[in-house]
Chain A
């Protein structure tokens, strides 16, 4: 057993040493053993609507350009001129077939080739003209684009393991393809990045942390019915990925009530989806899911909105968070308006839920200054039973087991999980055009 995680199967108890939230040495090891050897989410293909569209992102500390080249192919480049290093794109998004470094004027096309070097006669005929650097691997699954800096990593579908099914449940919600809405929620948290991965599928904190939100729900619905928690489950999806999933009852309980017009449209939309995908799959689609794809991608389908959240560790006690909303573009105006309202009300940086989470995590981080007196955080909830519910912490233990395997080089003992209830095992009647393509 390492100094980082202590597992006692007799009690049972699962504890994480708080030094992993503060120690720069641990942070450096995470960078090397996790972030240099995982598939990391960079963006969604629908953020690049037209040829030559690009967005700039920082992934594992590296400045990257996610672009659709002139022929429509999705590309990822290191946002650094191979000449002397200045960033080629300094805006968060744009459209350009050519990127010109403002330092010395070298110009590159979005296929990565150098196309122009000012006064190139100064280099002579034999000069090897460098193109743009790229991550070792780029892959896409249902429009979710990932990169890896490890040339020997397994392919993306293998890496995603059981998480693919939950990305399918999200992606199948549109008949024409889900799209990311323009605009990004960007905020930072003065806390270790792992605290937000835990928080992103922590069902236990809903009632205590989000009283403000539940008061709003009570006012809007006349009551706040959280009985859905008893039917919700936590599932180990393999590879450190896990999900907290609920039935349609959980979807109906959160968010402001829909107008009659919106309810009608939603019912019709789901009816059409039933024709394509079958009842079992669409019943599941109507439920909720908080999915964490190891290490730092969160996809939450809750409160009538699909949130994509990417967590970027910056220092041991500071992270940057980017979030987008994924929507069915065929949605009508009224349903769309209510989706946006629910999205902002719950998830927005100024909403009624996210700020409370940020406050909770920042106080955790501040308190870790006393880790000599209080060295352990407990993540044992639900460990005593094979029935893993959303109010337990099995999903987090799943994540921590993978973390420990990579950081400490030691596999921790697994714990038994009861078979999934039938509802959560429902499958599509016909496979959709799910494609995973290594690019």
Chain B
């Protein structure tokens, strides 16, 4: 049964990443009324903000997450020489933007696709957010550019629970490299999981008629939402906040 939720058109505006890479980038936003369950940062694949952001953000909104979305990939000939440090700083800017709306880091989920998935994994080593998911992260075995080495070389133990989703036929994420990455990340203080979908390529998260592709895209989205729901700290409703105050007051008495 399909439930047709009203589609929300994200607002898109240039935002300054002056305290990050120094760039100015378009950022899409969906802000929800009432008491949203949590917030999410969506890091889109290179060049895919316009194509993907609204769909991902509406999907998150259906589960109570308001979100911001951005494409942090280097543009054109990358004259700025964007580095991993720049990318992680840009994520910090976005975490700060959500903080301005009252979201603590533990109430924020980070979801990255492709290039954004690569950035999401790097950011989880820096920040203790609620949860993070990298979907088909690129640049796992191969360098994206001289300034952006392969993830297998630069990934560090993570502070945010991290889920990595991969297509088995993704040539950029060979099984032996994924096994090494998963084993290394398993030593992190935070919980990590790597899931590989058999018989699908790198774009497995886009729905398709072919059975394996459809199953992979459905499962990947389901896992993403469950990963967030199990870890992102929910914002209390006014009644829940009042209940917490009563419990705390009773405990002090």
**Chain A residues near B (Cβ < 8 Å):** 50-53, 95-100, 107, 115-117, 120-121, 123, 125, 127, 129
Contacts and interface: CB of A to CB of B under 8 A. Distances in A.
Interface in B15-43: 37
Contacts of B234: 98, 107, 115-116
10 contacts: A50-B189, A51-B190, A51-B191, A95-B230, A97-B230, A116-B234, A116-B237, A116-B240, A117-B240, A121-B239
A250 B229 CA distance: 52
B184 interface: no
Contacts of A53: 191
B239 A125 contact: yes
A95 B239 contact: no
Contacts of B190: 50-51
B37 A116 contact: yes
Interface of B: 37, 161, 189-191, 229-231, 233-234, 236-237, 239-240, 242-243
Given A115-B234, A116-B37, A129 B240 contact: yes
A54 to B, nearest CB: 10
Contacts, number: 50
Contacts of A107: 229, 234
Nearest to A53: B191
Given A97-B231, A98-B230, A120-B239, 19 more contacts: A51-B189, A51-B191, A52-B191, A53-B191, A95-B161, A95-B230, A96-B230, A97-B230, A97-B233, A100-B229, A107-B229, A115-B234, A115-B240, A116-B234, A117-B240, A120-B237, A123-B239, A125-B239, A125-B242
B231 A120 contact: no
A122 to B, nearest CB: 10
Contacts of A52: 161, 191, 231
A390 to B, nearest CB: 42
A183 B230 CA distance: 23
A66 to B, nearest CB: 16
Given A116-B37, A116-B240, A129-B243, A98 B189 contact: no
Interface centre among B37, B234, B243 (most CB of A within 10 A): B243
Majority SS of interface residues in chain A? mixed
A52 B161 CA distance: 10
A52 B160 CA distance: 12
A81 to B, nearest CB: 15
Contacts of B236: 115-116
A12 to B, nearest CB: 57
A370 B63 CA distance: 61
A98 B225 CA distance: 13
Contacts of B240: 115-117, 120, 129
A121 B242 CA distance: 12
Nearest to A122: B239
A196 to B, nearest CB: 35
Nearest to A100: B229
Contacts of A117: 240
Contacts of A98: 229-231, 233-234
Contacts of A115: 233-234, 236, 240
Contacts of B37: 116
B79 to A, nearest CB: 42
A218 B236 CA distance: 67
B5 to A, nearest CB: 16
B49 to A, nearest CB: 30
A96 B239 contact: no
CB-based closest 6 A-B pairs: A96-B230, A95-B191, A116-B234, A97-B231, A120-B239, A129-B243
A53 B237 CA distance: 27
Contacts of A125: 239, 242
A125 B243 CA distance: 8
A137 B252 CA distance: 24
Nearest to A97: B231
A115 B233 CA distance: 9
Nearest to A109: B233
B124 to A, nearest CB: 14
A120 B34 CA distance: 12
A217 B233 CA distance: 56
Contacts of A116: 37, 234, 236-237, 240
A176 to B, nearest CB: 15
B231 A96 contact: yes
B109 to A, nearest CB: 12
A50 B37 CA distance: 25
A50 B191 CA distance: 7
A100 B189 contact: no
B39 to A, nearest CB: 15
Question: Counting chain B CB atoms within 10 Å of each CB, which of A116, A117, A125 scores highest?
Answer: A116
Nearest to A96: B230
A117 to B, nearest CB: 7
A116 B37 CA distance: 9
B239 A100 contact: no
A121 B237 CA distance: 9
Nearest to B244: A113
A107 B237 CA distance: 13
Nearest to B191: A95
A298 B242 CA distance: 48
Nearest to A121: B239
Contacts of B237: 116, 120-121
B111 to A, nearest CB: 17
Contacts of B239: 120-121, 123, 125, 127
A99 B226 CA distance: 10
